[in-house]
Amino acid sequence: MTAMFTIIYIFFIFFVTLTSFFFVTRLQKYSINPRLTKPLILLFIITTSILVIINILFFINIPFAEIFDTVNYY
């Protein structure tokens, strides 16, 4: 079960990274005012990275073994 959740979570992180990558590349390519979009791209990359790192830290601290033991007990 833990492995399954981990695999699903890895797919989620991959999806976030891919979406962010395409978003940034599209914006860089099509923006008509790079002076406005460059700082926004930087803000997006930094904030997304921080949120993903915090999310990963919480994920690896989830006590899956204890939770599934409690579920099995009930």
In Å, the largest CA–CA distance within the chain is 60
Query: What is the smallest separation between the CB atom of 45 and another protein, expressed in angstroms?
Result: 11
31: alpha, beta or left? (left if phi > 0; alpha if psi -120 to 50): beta
* Interacting residues toward another protein by CB under 8 A: 12, 16, 19-20, 22-23, 26-27, 30-33, 37, 44, 47-48, 51-52, 54-55, 58-59, 61-63, 66-67, 70
Amino acid at 6: T
Query: What is the smallest separation between the CB atom of 7 and another protein, expressed in angstroms?
Result: 16
| Dist. CA 25–CA 41, nearest whole Å | 9
Nearer to another protein, 26 or 38 (CB): 26
